[in-house]
Amino acid sequence: MHKLSLFSNKRCSFCSSRRIFLINAGMVGIGASLLSGFEITHVHASTNTSSLDGIIENDKSALGFLRTCIDKRFVAGSRMAFEQATQLKGTNYWHESYAGGSALPPPNTISEDYSVEHGATILGWQAHINGCGGQPGVSDQEITARLDSVIAEKVKKYPNLRHFRILASLNGIDIKEVFPS
């Protein structure tokens, strides 16, 4: 179980729904599985008159792209790990999600190509073990090997960009930067 501290200076009420809390905490799009793999150790919220105007950041200093599996057990944690490792805000990267994640070659590369053409310099490639519905019957070891193989291809395709390998599991999120050989 990972520990996560959430802080918010946005208007927030603990009586609100979880979605409203996520919006007010500045985590739009993270989804309902935020709490599934994390123990919240500290939440601080202060009430003020600010609205949602400050959530969308226009900081273009760094942009990224993240491809994950659609499994709701791991999407939120993978996004948070990617954001922490890269220092990207959730509004500064494109996110694509499909069954099987980055351990399978994508049906097309339109999303990653688009993001790179529009300034993405940090790329995240995620898959998970512990039963992937997009890869039924495939062992954890094979999923890991497939992820590493796809990442090696992406590093060759985009050698001048930063790449992050993200392997999610019931034990947590393992993320590391991958460099060309």
pLDDT in tens, the chain (181 residues): 334 433 333 333 333 333 333 333 444 444 333 333 444 333 333 333 333 344 344 455 899 999 999 999 999 999 999 999 999 999 999 999 999 999 999 999 999 999 999 999 999 999 999 999 999 999 999 999 999 999 999 999 999 999 999 999 999 999 999 999 8
Whether 30 and 97 map to the same domain: the answer is no
Q: Which domain holds residue 137?
A: 63-178
Whether 26 and 100 map to the same domain: the answer is no
Predicted TM-score (pTM) above 0.75: no
**132-163 b/e (C-beta count within 10 Å ≥ 16 → b):** bebbeebeeeebbebbeebbeebbeebeeebb
Whether 153 and 97 map to the same domain: the answer is yes
